[in-house]
Amino acid sequence: MDKNKLSLLKIIKKINREYPLVPHTNAGRLYSTVRRMKAEKEMEIPINLRTGFPVSVATGKHANEMEGSEWENFYGALSEQLKHDYPELYERIFGVATLNIKKPILFNFIHRQAFKLYRRDLINFIGNISKLNNKELSDLVVHAVWTRAGLQSEGRIMDIRGVVFKDPILNQYPILLPQFRKIVNVFESKKAFFEAASMSIWVHTLRALIDPNLESEMHQMWDILLKSKSNWEDSLRELYDEDIKKIDTNLVESTLILSKQIILDLPPKPKIHTDTPTG
Which residue, of 94, 120, 144, is where some domain finishes?
Answer: 94
**What pLDDT, in 10s, does the model give residues 134-188?**
999 999 999 999 998 888 877 776 554 433 333 333 344 556 777 788 889 889 9
Lowest mean pLDDT among 157-161, 179-183, 211-215, 262-266: 157-161
Helix (H) / strand (E) containing 239: helix 232-243
Q: Is the pLDDT of residue 214 over 70?
A: yes
- Per this entry, what is the length of the chain? 279
In a domain, 273, yes or no: no
Q: Are 36 and 19 in contact (CB under 8 A)?
A: yes
Q: Is the pLDDT of residue 2 over 90?
A: no
Which has the higher per-residue pLDDT, 68 or 103?
68
Q: Are 172 and 180 in contact (CB under 8 A)?
A: no
Shared domain for 152 and 79, answered yes or no, is: no
Bond preceding residue 270 cis, omega within 30 of 0: no
**What is the percentage of the chain residues whose pLDDT exceeds 70?**
79
DSSP states along 69-86 = HHHHHHHHHHHHHHHHH-
Domain count, the chain: 2
Shared domain for 131 and 85, answered yes or no, is: no
Contacts of 271 (CB under 8 A, 6+ apart): 167, 168, 171
pLDDT value of position 116: 83
Shared domain for 71 and 119, answered yes or no, is: no
Shared domain for 221 and 128, answered yes or no, is: yes
pLDDT-derived band at 5, boundaries 50, 70, 90:
low
Q: Is the pLDDT of residue 270 over 70?
A: no
**What is the percentage of the chain residues whose pLDDT exceeds 90?**
31
Shared domain for 112 and 150, answered yes or no, is: yes
Q: In angstroms, rounded to a whole number, what is the distance separating the alpha carbons of residues 252 and 250? A: 5
Shared domain for 84 and 117, answered yes or no, is: no
The CA–CA distances, whole Å, from 162 to 24, 56, 81, 151, 165 equal 22, 6, 14, 17, 6
Range of the domain at 164: 105-264
Q: Is the pLDDT of residue 226 over 90?
A: yes
3-state helix, strand, coil in the chain (%, to 5): 70, 0, 30
Shared domain for 31 and 151, answered yes or no, is: no
Q: Are 32 and 63 in contact (CB under 8 A)?
A: no
In a domain, 73, yes or no: yes
Lowest mean pLDDT among 41-45, 91-95, 118-122: 91-95
